[in-house]
Amino acid sequence: MTKPSDQRLEELVQALDLVIHEFQDFEAHNLAGVLLSRVTLLMTMDPGVGKQLCKYVWEQLDAIEQADPGSMIP
């Protein structure tokens, strides 16, 4: 990525963080569901990439759970 693209990506992440913070009164699984629905929508043109992204997230969540079985993610 070029420097301007990196900056724009950082701006996007910050904007998403602000929105998530604004709606922190919702339970985490509701926010995650909304975000995953947007991932699905965005990846309709390239479902293979979407599947790889979801696989990565699944593996990360599995590693977190295996490290501390039965705990809730804060």
pLDDT per residue rounded down to tens, the chain (74 residues): 567 799 999 999 999 999 999 999 999 999 999 999 999 999 999 999 999 999 999 999 999 888 887 766 55
pTM confidence score? 0.69
Strands (E), 1-74: none
Cβ–Cβ under 8 Å, residues 22 and 34: no
CA gap 10, 48 in Å, rounded: 24
What's the pLDDT at 72? Answer: 61
Q: Which helix (H) or strand (E) holds 12?
A: helix 3-22
- The number of beta carbons lying within 10 Å of the beta carbon of residue 43 is 16
pLDDT of residue 69: 74
